[in-house]
Chains A and B, each alone.
Chain A
Amino acid sequence: MSKRKKPKEQPNISAIIERTGTALEDGRYPLEIMNNGDLYQSELRRIFGRAWNYLGHVSEFTEPGDYARRYIGEDPFIVTRDESGDLHAFLDSCMHRGAQFCTAENGNTSHFRCPYHGWTYKNDGTLQGMPHMREAYQDLDEAEIQLEAAHLDTYQGLIFGRIADDGPSLEAYLGDFTWYLDVLFGATSEGMTVVGEPHRWESDHDWKTSADNFSGDSYHVLTTHQAGLETESLARGPWEELDDFPGASYLACTDRHSVGYYLSEDADTFMGYPDTLTDHLDPELSDEQRELFGRSVFHFGTVFPNMSIIHGIQSGGWGGPWACIRKWNPRGPGTTETTSWWLVPRELAGDDEFLETSHRGWESLSPGGAFESDDLTIWEGISDSSGAVTHELRETEGNMQQGLGSMTDEVETVADPLHGPADVTTKGLYFDERNSRTLLRSWYEMMRTDGDQGDDS
């Protein structure tokens, strides 16, 4: 955890960004981008400063005054629900001298008072007042003073914020991926709800490594998770329904975001949820979305840049089903603070028996979990060696060529509306790395320019 970061000589980041774009055409990428201090500074500005960043779920902010400290890049924002019910996200930095005033991870308050000179803000980010206001600030336009706010919007209960003033709307940014978010977070009428508090931990891996892993890398499961897969409990339970494995696996990429999933032939699989769930299906789901959800065993994916998703069955004694939202908070080149929330359909949030097994599934991917703990060791190694001067001098390229050109004839393109509006392949989870390429392509598109980002649609 406390490894020293070596500042790297990298006078021209444009060259390495362009080299990434070119290499991706052939399914390759410069390994050094996974731990590079100069690129990291640009990522904070060009990606996290301009993208829609996941900030939380509406179920965490049900009452007026509810707030939580959340991050865009490394910037500390406070997400609040104000007294009239609107959501806000403002920077934890007083407009007087920049002091921080939010002293807890979450809570409920009508006002925030700066500890430095006492400037006080309402929970909508506007100024309430300050000590000696009438004497000290006789010529001040109070209405002009409000906290720096991020643009904020929600989709299916997911709250996103953006620092840059210009850019696409949230719905345009999510694009066709909204179809999958409907299935994963809007399958029931009341939607999902966060349970309890999130897991949080810091590790020396690059945010892109884990975002890539969750985007659709099933190939690693065989090797990375061999120890977990060979435990006795895993032989039990719904995994056995995957009689057509890996034929029943799919990858779907939109222009920026991607998801991988397994389907059962059984249309009443519903990720292993209790049968009562089908009483609550949202009538607004299309027939295809409903069928996809009904046959779903497991989904995982990444909304660029740093929000990942798991939703589905865990196996046997390891519990589930559960949904998890991951946020890979950048904390320096090659360092990430992971936040991992547990969500369940709101209709099941009072079912203690279900919660018990669902918690167990979520826990299996905690830093103490039987699966995640192995990933983390490997991801830290990637970060450590990706910072190697050798990679910089040799311009070493890593490989994500599965499914590209004539690399394999296993992968088949699927054109069936059941699979939504994305580019979809089957058997992709073992033989296709298109989702990884999509992630780095999104990275390239936002890194390649320091100018305006796309349309304002």
Chain B
Amino acid sequence: MSLPPLSDRSATVDAETQHRIEQFLYREAELLDRFELEEWLTLLDEDIVLAVPVRTARHPGSEQSEFSDESNYLREDYEMIRERVGRLSKEYAWSENPRSRVRHVIGNVRVLDVTDDTVDVANTQHVFRSYGDTADHDMLSAQRHTTLRDGGDGYTISERTVYLDHSILNTKNLTLPLL
């Protein structure tokens, strides 16, 4: 398996459910783009795991996964994510001071699995990032796998893995709003 563990899975949901899922992901993306991270935190379950595994360039046909099951740029529980949000709110969190100009473009929202109270969903994304006094920008491309939990009053995120399309990151650092 050299691709994200996904594409053989699919599940059919009704149009309204698909719509609800997409609207949730769009709203979440907008919170990230706007650095409204305290509000974004309220979308996370307290048992969340957020992982960004390292990707390695391998031969086609290699039996080894391109995505590491041992090495991650990030692998965080709720407590650490909360710490990171608090960290980024500080004036001297230089990684995002000044703040990056960020825009998620989300597409290919596809439901992979459904249970009584969860939905596994894949989406692709291009995240535009421009920083400082420059015309330049970085573009981060990825596929996300997210497990959404439906607790009755809307979805929450109980698990997320961000599968980067980069084996060498092309941006100086990887802060939460870029994921």
Contacts and interface: CB of A to CB of B under 8 A. Distances in A.
Contacts of B25: none
B52 A231 contact: no
- Which interface residue of A1, A103, A199 has the most chain B CB atoms within 10 A? A1
Contacts of B90: 226-227, 230
A103 B59 contact: yes
A249 B11 CA distance: 58
Interface in B122-165: 131, 134, 136-138
B167 A105 contact: yes
B172 A203 contact: yes
B173 interface: yes
A134 interface: no
Contacts of A205: 172
A377 B167 contact: no
User: Which residue, B62, B72, B90, B175, has most C-beta atoms of chain A within 10 A?
Assistant: B72
Interface residues of B, number: 43
Interface in B76-105: 79-80, 83-84, 86-88, 90, 92-95, 97
Contacts of A130: none
B70 A195 contact: yes
Identify whether the interface residues of A are mostly helix, strand, loop, or mixed: mixed
Interface in A173-197: 195-197
A17 to B, nearest CB: 29
B75 A370 contact: no
A202 B169 contact: yes
26 contacts: A2-B137, A104-B57, A105-B167, A196-B71, A198-B54, A199-B71, A200-B168, A202-B169, A203-B171, A204-B172, A227-B88, A231-B83, A317-B79, A363-B73, A366-B72, A366-B74, A367-B172, A367-B173, A367-B174, A368-B175, A373-B95, A373-B173, A373-B175, A374-B94, A374-B95, A377-B131
Interface of B: 52, 54, 56-59, 62, 64, 68-75, 79-80, 83-84, 86-88, 90, 92-95, 97, 131, 134, 136-138, 167-175
Given A200-B167, A355-B70, 7 more contacts: A199-B54, A203-B172, A224-B94, A232-B86, A367-B169, A367-B174, A376-B95
